[in-house]
Amino acid sequence: MLAGGICLLAGNMYMVSLSAILPDISRSLNIELGTATNFMSLFMLAAAIFVVVGGVLCDRYGVLPVLALSSLLSSGGSVLMLWAGHDYATAIVARFIEGIGTGFGFSLISPIMAIWFPPNQRGRVAGLIGMFVALGAVVGFPLSSAVFRATQVWQHMSAWISIVGWVSFVFTLILITMPKPTLPSQVQSKEKAQTKAAFGSELKEPMFYICIAISFFSAWLLQTILNITPTYMSADRPLGLGFGYMRASNLMLGVSIAGVLAPIVSGIIQDRVFKTNARPLMFVGFALCCIFMYLILLPPVYTKSPFLVVCLALAGSGTAVISAALPLFIGLNYPVHILGKAYGIIAGLGNFGSVTGLYLAGKAVEANGNYNLAVTLISLAALIGFILVFLLKRWKAAPE
Domain boundary among 173, 191, 209: 191
Domain boundary among 163, 191, 219: 191
- The burial of 275, by beta-carbon neighbours within 10 Å (0-12 exposed, 13-18 middle, 19 or more buried), is given as middle
Query: Could you tell me if residue 397 is inside a domain?
Result: no
Q: Are residues 203 and 102 in the same domain?
A: no
Q: What is the pLDDT of residue 167?
A: 92
User: For 236-248, what is the mean pLDDT?
Assistant: 83
Q: Residue 173 pLDDT more than 80?
A: yes
Over pLDDT 70: what percentage of the chain? 91
Q: Residue 253 pLDDT more than 80?
A: no
Q: How many domains does the chain have?
A: 2
Q: Are residues 222 and 358 in the same domain?
A: yes
Q: Are residues 168 and 237 in the same domain?
A: no
Q: Are residues 179 and 227 in the same domain?
A: no
Residues 218-229 pLDDT 10s: 999 988 888 788
d(CA 131, CA 260): 5
Q: Residue 251 pLDDT more than 50?
A: yes
Q: Are residues 205 and 323 in the same domain?
A: yes
Least confident of 38-52, 72-86, 108-122: 108-122
User: For 241-256, what is the mean pLDDT?
Assistant: 80
Domain region containing 98: 2-191
Query: Could you tell me if residue 128 is inside a domain?
Result: yes
Q: Are residues 179 and 82 in the same domain?
A: yes
Q: Residue 192 pLDDT more than 80?
A: no
Query: Could you tell me if residue 398 is inside a domain?
Result: no
Q: Are residues 281 and 376 in the same domain?
A: yes
Query: Could you tell me if residue 173 is inside a domain?
Result: yes
Mean pLDDT, the chain, whole residue set = 84
Q: What is the pLDDT of residue 11?
A: 86
Q: Are residues 120 and 208 in the same domain?
A: no
pLDDT grade for 331, boundaries at 50, 70 and 90: confident
Query: Could you tell me if residue 249 is inside a domain?
Result: yes
Q: Residue 210 pLDDT more than 60?
A: yes
Q: Are residues 180 and 256 in the same domain?
A: no
Q: What is the pLDDT of residue 184?
A: 47
Q: What is the pLDDT of residue 212?
A: 95
pLDDT grade for 235, boundaries at 50, 70 and 90: confident
Mapping DSSP onto H, E and C, the string for the chain reads CHHHHHHHHHHHHHHHHCHHHHHHHHHHHCCCHHHHCHHHHHHHHHHHHHHHHHHHHHHHHCHHHHHHHHHHHHHHHHHHHHHHCCCHHHHHHHHHHHHHHHHHHHCCHHHHHHHHCCHHHHHHHHHHHHHHHHHHHHHHHHHHHHHHHHHCCHHHHHHHHCHHHHHHHHHHHHHHHCCHHHCCCHHHHHHCCCCCHHHHHHHCCHHHHHHHHHHHHHHHHHHHHHHHHHHHHHCCCCCCCCCCHHHHHHHCHHHHHHHHHHHHHHHHHHHHHHCCCCHHHHHHHHHHHHHHHHHCCCHHHHCCHHHHHHHHHHHHHHHHHHHHHHHHHHHHHCCHHHHHHHHHHHHHHHCHHHHHHHHHHHHHHHHHCCCHHHHHHHHHHHHHHHHHHCCCCCCCCCCC
User: For 328-332, what is the mean pLDDT?
Assistant: 87
User: For 280-292, what is the mean pLDDT?
Assistant: 96
pLDDT grade for 198, boundaries at 50, 70 and 90: low
Query: Could you tell me if residue 399 is inside a domain?
Result: no
Residues 111-153 pLDDT 10s: 888 777 877 777 788 778 878 887 887 777 678 878 888 888 9
Q: What is the pLDDT of residue 187?
A: 40
pLDDT grade for 189, boundaries at 50, 70 and 90: very low
- Residue 308 belongs to a domain with what CATH number? 1.20.1250.20
Q: What is the pLDDT of residue 396?
A: 52
Query: Could you tell me if residue 95 is inside a domain?
Result: yes
Of residues 27 and 286, more confidence is placed in 286
Q: Are residues 333 and 263 in the same domain?
A: yes
Q: Are residues 321 and 340 in the same domain?
A: yes
Q: Residue 352 pLDDT more than 90?
A: no
Q: What is the pLDDT of residue 400?
A: 44
Domain boundary among 156, 191, 226: 191
pLDDT grade for 397, boundaries at 50, 70 and 90: very low
Q: Are residues 247 and 164 in the same domain?
A: no
Query: Could you tell me if residue 396 is inside a domain?
Result: no
